[in-house]
Structure 1
Amino acid sequence: MKKSDVPQDESNLEKADLRELCYAVDENGEYVTQHTTGWDPKTIALNNAIDAIKERVENARAKVLAKETSPIEYYMELNKMDLSVLASYVGMWKWRVKRHFKPSVFKKLSRRTLQKYADTFDITIDQLQNIES
């Protein structure tokens, strides 16, 4: 794309006073860097992804409040993690972390295990155990 054609559409970058760096072709046919505030298709895709994440977080929160899952699943979603990522951060097998999603198992976790999760989510054990309604 030509340097003059680099889109400068309204986006979340612009609202945060940020710009993205991309490559374009100048008048001499050379590749140069050019800043952009964003472009509509990318903004739409990012907004859809953010909405999907928010929905997953709210679903996990509702499941915690209904005692269908433990707060670990909620905080995993809130921190934009998946089971594999969370398991690697806490140094446990995925099946073990998934087992900790069960409220009955979560209640019996040791303080040491709870601390691993709390440290991973950068919260206190009390915050991990008590999600406000």
Structure 2
Amino acid sequence: MKKDDVPQDNSKSYQGQNKLLYAVDDSGHYQGVKSSGWEIESFATQLAVDDLNEQTAQALEQALRGEISPLAYHMLARRFDIATLAGASGFFQWQIKRHLRPAIFAKLSDKNINRYCDTLKISRDALLSLPSQ
């Protein structure tokens, strides 16, 4: 992309910030250029955020019905998936999948609950409960 073609669409997802992109200047060299956003990128970002919000709402409903543990809701509400939560918490993915089952989650030790609290940056009471709809 040429330096003069870098999008400046004032994307609301940038929240007034700029993003550094690299573009080719007139002499053919790469140069850093600030961009205020790109309409297409903003649209794709909004679709992804809407999808994450939908997944979080579904997890809350399932957790309120007792089909999955509160961990599933809190994980998604803080934009983690099983792989990223495993990497951040030190649990294996298979362990987290087990902890998403209410009966297993209810038996977790204080040490394991605290690991989740530290990783998700929430209190013990918050992790063990769910917000009301």
Q: Same fold (TM over 0.5)?
A: yes
Secondary structure of residue in 1 paired with 2:32: strand
| Structure 1 residue runs of 4 or more that deviate by more than 4 Å after TM superposition | none
Alignment partner, residue 72 of structure 1? 71
TM-score normalised by structure 2 residue count = 0.87
CA offset at residue 88 of structure 1? 3.1
Structure 1's 13 and 64: CA in aligned 2 closer, same or farther, altered over 3 A? closer
Say yes or no: does 1:12 pair with 2:12: yes
Alignment deviations for residues 1-29 of structure 1 (CA, whole Å, 9 cap, x no partner): 33222211131255x22111112233334
Question: Greater CA deviation, 90-99 or 24-33?
Answer: 24-33
Q: Which runs of 5+ in 1 are unaligned?
A: none
Q: Tell me, yes or no, if the aligned pair for 1:3 and 1:34 is still in contact at 8 Å.
A: yes
Q: CA contact under 8 A between 2:13 and 2:45: conserved in structure 1?
A: no
Q: What 5-or-longer segments of structure 2 have no aligned partner?
A: none
Other-structure match for 2:123: 124
Match of residue 84 from structure 1: 83
CA distance in 2, matches of 1:108, 1:81: 22
Counterparts of 1:51-62 in structure 2, within 5 Å, are 51-62=50-61
Identity of aligned residues (%): 37
Asked whether 1:113 is paired with 2:109, we answer no
User: 1:51 offset after TM fit, Å?
Assistant: 0.9
Deviations 1:82-130 (A, max 9, x none): 2122223332222222111111222222222111111111111111111
Give the CA RMSD over aligned residues.
1.7
What is the CA–CA distance in structure 2 between the aligned matches of 1:27 and 1:3, rounded to whole Å?
A: 8
Q: Which residue of 1 aligns with 2:29?
A: 30
